[in-house]
Structure 1
Amino acid sequence: MKAALQDFIIYMSEVKKASVNTIMSYQNDLTKLIKHLANQNITDIGKISETSLNSYILNMEREGMAPATVSRNIASIKAFILYLVRKGRLQNDPTERMHAPKVEKKPPQILSLNQIKGLLEQPDISTIKGIRDKAMLELLYATGIRVSELISIRLDDINLKNRFLRCCSASKERIIPFGNMAKQALENYFIKARSELVGNMDTNICFTNLSGEPMSRQGFWKIIKSYGKIAGIQDEITPQILRNSFAVHMIDNGADIQSIQELLGHSDAAATQVYMQNRNKKVREVYAQAHPRA
C-alpha cells in the first residue's frame, strides 16, 4: 500500500501539478491512514472497504480532532481512493457515501494596521539580518504572497523599477504590484545585505539564510514569530495571517473581490470570498453605532 501511496504522490506532483503544501498534506494524512489500516491487518488495497475507512474517521473524531482536520483527511482519502479506482486497483469506490463534517467558517485572523506597523518596524536595519528580514516582511505584506512563494523568489522575478513581482506557482504565473515601502526595503537589501549573505555562492534565489542557502518555511516562521513577540502582539502570528491582513486591508480600502482573488492566486472565488466576512462585520458595527434606530 505504501508503494501505491508513492505512485499517487508522484501523480499529484507531476500530472496534477499540486502545490508542495497540498502534496505534504496528502502524504501526512494518507500515511496515518495506511498505518491505521495495517493495525487492522489490512495491507492489501483490495481489502479497503467503507467499513474500514469509516472506522478510521470515527477514531479521529473520538480522539477529539477538529472538524476541519477530519474534513481535510476525508478529502485526502477520497482523492487517493479515486486514483486507485481509475487505475483499476480498486473495483468500487468505498468513499461514495462518506461525507465530511460541517466546518464552521470563521473570519480569517488578521492583524490591525497598528499591529502591522509595529511588526514591520522591528527588524534592526543596522544589521545584515535585519535588512533582509525587513525586506521579506515588507514584501510579504505588500503582495499577500504565500510563504512558499516568498522563499522561492528569484532575482529575475523582481522588477524594482516598475515595482512588480512575478510569482510562479505550479503551472500558474501572476504579476503582483508592490508599493514604495517594499521597494525601498528591497533596494536596501540588494545594496547592503544580499552579497554579504551569499558570498561567493552562485545562486539566483533572492532571500537566503545567514549561510547563503535557500531559506526554509520553518526558518521564516521563526523569524516572523520572534518579531511578533518583540512587537508585543499577543495573538498567534504566522505568514498566513499577514496574507489575510493584506487581503482584508485591501478590501477595507476599496479593492474589489475579483482583484484580490487575482492577486492572491486563488483559482476558486469561494476561497477569496471568506475575506468579505470581516468587511461585512465591520459594516454591521458601523451601522449599529450610526443608525438612530439600530
Structure 2
Amino acid sequence: MSAIDDFLAMLAAERGAARNTLLAYGRDLHQAEGMVDGSLAQATPAQLARLGQGWSSLAPSTLARKISALRQFYGFLVDEGEREDDPTHALPRPATRRPLPKILSHAQVEALFARAEDEASGERPEAVRLLAMLELLYGSGLRATELVSLPLSAVPRDEPFLTVTGKGGQARLVPVSTRAKKALSRWLAVRPSDTKWLFPSRTSHLSRIRLYQMLKELAVRADLPPEKLSPHVLRHAFATHLLEGGADLRALQTLLGHADIATTQIYTHVDAARLVKLVNERHPLARARRSD
C-alpha cells in the first residue's frame, strides 16, 4: 500500500471518516502527487509551494479542503516516523469565511407545511410520505442522507426517538415531535411492507437526489422559490428556529450530531436581532431612558 492508502485507512479506522470524506481526500492527495511529479510522501517544501501556485484559481473553500488534507497527511507521516519534518509551512494559508446558512422564515415554513398537509389529506401514499419526511427534516434536523437511509428498525414503537447513524458512523438518538410521530404513523400505515427501509424505492431506499427533487417541486406548489428549499435548508431552519426559541447551544450540538461545537456556532448569528432587542428592553440604562 502507498502512504496515501495507509493514511486513508487510518482515517477510516481510527477517526471513522465518512466515505465521501475519504473519496475527497483521496482525490486531493493523488492530484497533489501528480503535480509534484514524484512521491507525495517525499515532497519538499519547494514542491509544495508550487502546489499553491497551481491551485491559485480554486475557490477558497476548495483550496482550504486540499490544504487540510495535506496537513493531515504529513502529520500522519510524522507521527508514523515516515518523515522527520512537516513541509506544509510552504503551503498558502487561505482566509476562508464560512458562509452563513440559508434560512426560511416562519411564514415560509408554515406555507410549506400547509401545502404538504393539504396534499396528504387524501392519504395518497406519495403525499403522506413527503409530509413524514418534511416533518423529520424540519422537526428533527436530520441530514438528507440520514433521512433517506433510515431503516424501519430506527423507528421505536413507544419511545419518541429515532436512532440515527450520522457522519463517521456515529449513532445518536433524535427526538421526534408529536406532529412528526403522527405523520410517521400515517406513512407506516400505507408504506410497502416488503422492505427494511423506512422510505424505500424500487431496489433500495429513496435517493438523496430524489428527495431534493421532491422538495423543489413542493416549493413550487407552495408558491415558494424552489432555489430556497433543500434538505439542508430545512435542517438550518430547525437549528435557527430552536435558537430563536431559547434553545441551548450545547443541546443543539447534540441534536444536530456535530462533533465540534464550533460547527454549531454558525447558527448564533440568527440570534443577533433577539439579543439586541433584549438589551434595549432589559438593560437598566434602557429602562432609565424610557422613564425620562
Output the TM-score relative to the length of structure 2: 0.82
Residue 19 of structure 1 corresponds to 18
Cα distance, 1:190 vs. partner?
Answer: 0.6
Identity rate, percent: 28
Distance (whole Å) between structure 1 residues aligned to residue 203 and residue 41 of structure 2: 49
Residue 140 of structure 2 corresponds to 143
Distance (whole Å) between structure 2 residues aligned to residue 51 and residue 102 of structure 1: 22
Q: Does 1:51 pair with 2:76? A: no
In the alignment, which of 167, 174, 177 is matched to residue 175 of structure 2?
177
Secondary structure of the 1:275 match is helix
Q: Does 1:230 pair with 2:221? A: yes
Residue 247 of structure 2 corresponds to 255
Secondary structure of the 1:274 match is helix
Provide structure 2 residue ranges, at least 5 long, that are not aligned to the other structure.
Answer: none
User: Alpha carbons of 1:222 and 1:84: their partners in 2 closer, same or farther (altered >3 Å)?
Assistant: farther
Amino acid at match of 1:45: L
The C-alpha deviation readout for 1:161-220, integer Å capped at 9, x for no partner, is 33211223346332221212211111111101233xxxx4xx4222222x1412333332
Distance (whole Å) between structure 1 residues aligned to residue 32 and residue 114 of structure 2: 45
Cα distance, 1:89 vs. partner?
Answer: 4.0
8 Å CA contact retained: 2:3, 2:41: no
Q: Report the aligned-residue RMSD.
A: 2.9
Query: How many pairs were matched up?
Result: 280
Greater C-alpha Rg: 2
Instruction: Select the structure that is richer in helix.
Output: 2
Distance (whole Å) between structure 1 residues aligned to residue 275 and residue 173 of structure 2: 31
Distance (whole Å) between structure 2 residues aligned to residue 258 and residue 46 of structure 1: 39
Cα distance, 1:286 vs. partner?
Answer: 7.7
Cα distance, 1:225 vs. partner?
Answer: 2.8
Amino acid at match of 1:10: A
8 Å CA contact retained: 1:194, 1:207: no
Residue 87 of structure 2 corresponds to 94
8 Å CA contact retained: 1:154, 1:204: yes
User: Alpha carbons of 1:16 and 1:223: their partners in 2 closer, same or farther (altered >3 Å)?
Assistant: same
8 Å CA contact retained: 1:33, 1:56: yes
Cα distance, 1:107 vs. partner?
Answer: 2.9
Provide structure 1 residue ranges, at least 5 long, that are not aligned to the other structure.
Answer: none
In the alignment, which of 66, 80, 84 is matched to residue 73 of structure 1?
66
Amino acid at match of 1:252: E
Q: Does 1:214 pair with 2:209? A: no
8 Å CA contact retained: 1:138, 1:181: yes
